[in-house]
Amino acid sequence: MVPDSPSAPSASSVPSVPSPVPSVLDLAPVVPVVVVEDLADAVPMARALVAGGLPAIEVTLRTPVALDAIRAIAADVPDAVVGAGTVISARNVADSVAAGARFLVSPGWTESLLVAMEGSGVPFLPGVSTTSEVVALLERGVSEMKFFPAEAAGGTAYLKSLGGPLPQARFCPTGGITPGTAPTYLALKNVGCVGGSWMLPSDAVAAKDWARVESLAREASTLR
């Protein structure tokens, strides 16, 4: 007697899998760069940013609760596209993806880190600040990068100069960018988005003033 085939699981019993992220650079004009000190802030902070029109959220691996924050946002804020920032090792890559990160951002790159990010299965933005680093990544087929530290490394003038000989490279500049300077970056053809934290002022976060965070995020979402 042939045993009955197991019945197919119902749609409601199958866990949803987030859709792939085609390009971090095209999700929103600004990617909030988030440092989570208190894990309890992670979900309400992410909800405020998403409500304000900034779905791509880079949680930096700078605090002990960062991975738990990524895990919480991935589980409880379905409209967020949460990623990990300050990724500087293969272990960071593995831990971040396991926690639910849907993209990775590094301040710089090495051969071993690049290999790990390439094998992660999620989009990534390796950090660059020189022309040689950009060319080296283009040789590897990587055309989307983080430009860091943006203001200290030459700002808009430097990026505009790169656009002539290296038009295939696209950037997310991060580091020292403000609401006043962001539009100048976003006007460049080789800039897809910018990273910043001005929509998360320390006093608003300390006061749990998520309405203010949402308002600042909404202003940032209209900068393009």
Active site (catalytic) residues: 58, 146
Contact 58, 96 (CB under 8 A): no
Give 49's contacts (C-beta < 8 A, 6+ positions apart). Answer: 32, 34, 55, 57, 80, 199, 213, 214, 217
In whole angstroms, give the CA distance from residue 11 to residue 21: 23
CA 165, chain centre distance (Å): 27
In whole angstroms, give the CA distance from residue 205 to residue 209: 6
Does residue 166 sit in helix, strand or coil?
A: coil
Does residue 58 sit in helix, strand or coil?
A: strand
Contact 74, 46 (CB under 8 A): no
Instruction: Output the furthest CA–CA distance in the chain (Å, rounded).
Output: 76
Q: Which helix (H) or strand (E) holds 170?
A: strand 170-173
CA 60, chain centre distance (Å): 9
CA dihedral 65, 42, 145, 162 (to 10 degrees): -120
Where in 8-53 does DSSP place strands (E)?
Answer: 30-34
